[in-house]
């Protein structure tokens, strides 16, 4: 499995750089060899054990991108426990829900979260300890200082492929967010599949600019590189000019990003003089890659982007080929070991090539289920075991798949999923708001931007700015509406359902 493979690299290539971490100031960087990584992870395991962490326990991380995050994440999984990475943008009330729902036993957060987390503790009886780290390495070092790598020597690697090791919360069109449980077997199957399809090599150098609290940055990129024993140059924060400089100067061989990041590279000052022809692999995912960006990227950098398709519940499912045609507008072919079909959304029977239907997937990469939500888990799958993705698409006669929208009410902004009902629930709490509808409008930079259309109560006075700041205090930044339109009524059909398509026509111009 993945963790066994990683441990073997730590033994066979202890001096090779596993991660070079480059902080936000882009000054000094910290180099961690595979041998260092193993020692730090072992000390972290011993620290977690001393804190009572047992297999199956949930340990939550809401930390900025830093080495401590990586050590904790790997150590949690090595102990057979479940890592629960949380977006650093989540405000306190979302955070409280995740900790409570997952019954996390340990929580590592930023120092600045202390004052808001402490009052929550009373309603989190399962939470044994909270550690506040400022991610300056000294604090974390102090925490693991009393432990020696040998203290973890007797701890065996997890052997149960079906044991959950990672839990990613995803929202939905109904109800509260759900924890998608990924097992050691799921991660290993997807990593093996990507290793083969993308030709990961031991001498690859990955430039890593994505957040590590999501599947894309954590599993596809970081695990992908570790699974090959390759080197990761990890930027704490994405910066287009520095990324371009590093891609060329290192030189790097692999880069993975979302369309918003590729757009910023194309728009970066001086980008016109940069060639990325030397790159072995540059991928785009988490959101649809616009055709014009695909073409602009190739014209400017001499590199044809490889677009792929995945989701938190599955990891990666479809990918354009490494060798062969990388087709504009297409997410490519099923990855090794992944079955993908298109069905009629009503009958769930496969449709003919060229016909749009729901994308359904099956394979060892597909998650175990939603944490303590057997009904939602059952509803996510067909009776014969295919995962209903909620995405619409078609298969062309030669096997390439193209996405054609979504059957679910979802906005994707800069690679992050935003479910309108979540934002609408917050708007409903505003005393002046009688009704609201949240829509995604096309946006050159973000793919889509979140827009709210609001009907105020008859005698209530409010402004778009007041509503935006109300949302900002209660939602992660990327979920906060960028625009609010105040109207006297929302268009509804005979059943009373809000006509979002009509709102998009009216307000997305
Ligand atoms: C940041 N902001 C966003 C945003 N990211 N707003 C909308 N959508 C986003 N994605 C807001 C901040 O809250 C802040 O708002 C302002 O924008 C700051 O702007 P910024 O400094 O330019 O943002 P930056 O930090 O540079 O982030 C942009 C980004 C980031 C593109 C680098 O969004 C990013 O890393 N996206 C990647 C997401 C990702 O990894 N998704 C993978 C999901 S896994 P304000 O108002 O406070 O100023 C998955 C499965 C799969 O989907 O298949 O991959």
Closest CA to 324 of 333, 312, 313, 337: 333
User: Running DSSP on this structure, what letter comes out for residue 217?
Assistant: I
Between CA 165 and CA 404 the distance in angstroms is 33
Task: Tell me if the pTM is above 0.85.
Answer: yes
Residue with CA nearest ligand 1 atom 20: 238
Each residue's pLDDT tens digit, 424-448 = 999 999 999 999 999 999 999 999 9
Per-residue tens of pLDDT for the chain, all 509 residues: 999 999 999 999 999 999 999 998 877 899 999 999 999 999 999 999 999 999 999 999 999 999 999 999 999 999 999 999 999 999 888 899 999 999 999 999 998 888 888 888 888 999 999 999 987 657 899 999 999 999 998 999 999 999 999 999 998 777 789 999 999 999 999 999 999 999 999 999 999 999 999 999 999 999 999 999 999 999 999 999 999 999 999 899 999 999 999 999 999 999 999 999 999 999 999 999 999 999 999 999 999 999 999 999 999 999 999 999 999 999 999 999 999 999 999 999 999 999 999 999 999 999 999 999 999 999 999 999 999 999 999 999 999 999 998 888 899 999 999 999 999 999 999 999 999 999 999 999 999 999 999 999 998 989 999 999 999 999 999 999 999 999 999 999 988 899 999 999 999 98
Token pair 């677009």: residue: 307
Q: Where in the chain is the domain with CATH 3.40.50.12780?
A: 2-242
Please list, residue by residue across 189-210, b when 16 or more beta carbons sit within 10 angstroms of its beta carbon and e when fewer do.
Answer: bbbbbbbebbebeeebbbbbbb
Round to the nearest angstrom and report the end-to-end CA distance of the chain.
50
Question: Which pLDDT score is estimated for 136?
Answer: 67
Question: Which pLDDT score is estimated for 118?
Answer: 87
85 within ligand 1 shell (Cβ under 6 A)? no
Q: Where in the chain is the domain with CATH 3.30.300.30?
A: 410-507
Q: Which atom of ligand 1 is nearest to the CA of 312?
A: 50
Å from CA of 427 to ligand 1 middle: 22
238 within ligand 1 shell (Cβ under 6 A)? yes
Structure tokens at 18: 């596993």
235 within ligand 1 shell (Cβ under 6 A)? no
Best residue among 477, 479, 481, 483 to mutate for probing ligand 1, ranked by most atoms within 8 Å of CB? 477
Closest CA to 262 of 279, 280, 245, 285: 285
Question: Which pLDDT score is estimated for 137?
Answer: 58
213 within ligand 1 shell (Cβ under 6 A)? no
Between CA 397 and CA 128 the distance in angstroms is 56
217 close to 191: Cβ distance less than 8 angstroms:
no
Angle at Cα 54 formed by Cα 58 and Cα 13, nearest 5°? 90
List of E strands, 244-305:
254-257, 281-284
CATH number listed for the domain at residues 2-242: 3.40.50.12780
216 within ligand 1 shell (Cβ under 6 A)? yes
Is domain 410-507 annotated with CATH 3.30.300.30? yes
Q: What are phi and psi of 370, to 5 degrees?
A: -90, 135
């Amino acid at each position: 499995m993945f963790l066994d493979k990683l441990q073997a690299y730590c033994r066979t290539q202890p001096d090779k750089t596993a991660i070079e971490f480059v902080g936000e100031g882009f000054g000094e960087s910290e180099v961690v060899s595979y041998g260092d990584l193993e020692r730090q992870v072992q000390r972290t395991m011993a620290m977690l054990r001393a804190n009572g962490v047992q297999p199956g326990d949930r340990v939550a991380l809401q930390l900025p991108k830093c080495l401590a995050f990586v050590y904790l994440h790997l150590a949690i999984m090595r102990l057979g426990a479940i890592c629960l990475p949380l977006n650093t943008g989540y405000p306190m009330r979302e955070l409280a829900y995740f900790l409570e729902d997952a019954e996390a036993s340990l929580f590592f957060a930023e120092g600045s979260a202390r004052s808001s987390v402490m009052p929550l503790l009373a309603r989190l009886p399962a939470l044994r300890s909270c550690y506040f780290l400022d991610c300056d390495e000294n604090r974390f070092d102090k925490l693991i200082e009393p432990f020696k790598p040998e203290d973890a020597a007797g701890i065996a690697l997890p052997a149960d492929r079906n044991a959950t090791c990672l839990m990613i919360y995803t929202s939905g069109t109904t109800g509260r967010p759900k924890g998608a449980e990924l097992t050691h077997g799921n991660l290993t199957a997807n990593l093996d599949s990507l290793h083969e399809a993308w030709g990961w090599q031991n001498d690859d150098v990955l430039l890593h600019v994505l957040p590590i609290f999501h599947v894309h940055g954590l599993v596809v990129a970081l695990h992908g590189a570790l699974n090959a024993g390759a080197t990761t140059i990890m930027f704490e924060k994405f910066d287009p000019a520095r990324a371009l400089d590093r891609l060329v100067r290192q030189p790097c061989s692999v880069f993975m990003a979302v369309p918003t990041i590729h757009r910023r590279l194309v728009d970066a000052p001086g980008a016109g003089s940069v060639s990325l022809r030397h790159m072995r692999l540059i991928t785009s995912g988490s959101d649809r890659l616009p055709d014009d960006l695909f073409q602009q990227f190739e014209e400017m950098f001499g590199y044809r982007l490889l677009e792929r398709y995945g989701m938190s519940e599955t990891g990666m499912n479809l990918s354009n080929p490494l060798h062969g045609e990388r087709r504009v507008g297409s997410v490519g072919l099923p990855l090794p070991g992944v079955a993908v079909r298109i069905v009629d959304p009503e009958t769930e029977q496969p449709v003919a090539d060229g016909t749009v239907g729901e994308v359904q997937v099956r394979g060892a990469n597909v998650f175990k289920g939603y944490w303590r939500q057997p009904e939602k888990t059952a509803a996510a799958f067909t009776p014969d075991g295919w995962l209903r993705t909620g995405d619409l698409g078609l298969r062309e006669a030669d096997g390439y798949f193209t996405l054609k929208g979504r059957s679910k009410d979802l906005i994707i902004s800069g690679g992050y999923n935003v479910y309108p009902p979540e934002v609408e629930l917050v708007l409903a709490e505003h005393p002046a708001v009688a009704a609201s509808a949240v829509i995604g409008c096309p946006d050159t930079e973000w793919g889509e931007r979140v827009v709210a259309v609001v009907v105020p109560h008859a005698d209530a006075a409010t402004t778009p700015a007041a509503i935006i700041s109300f949302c900002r205090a209660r939602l992660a930044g990327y979920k906060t509406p960028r625009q609010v339109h105040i109207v006297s009524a929302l268009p509804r059909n005979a059943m009373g359902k809000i006509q979002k398509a009509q709102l998009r026509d009216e307000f997305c111009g």
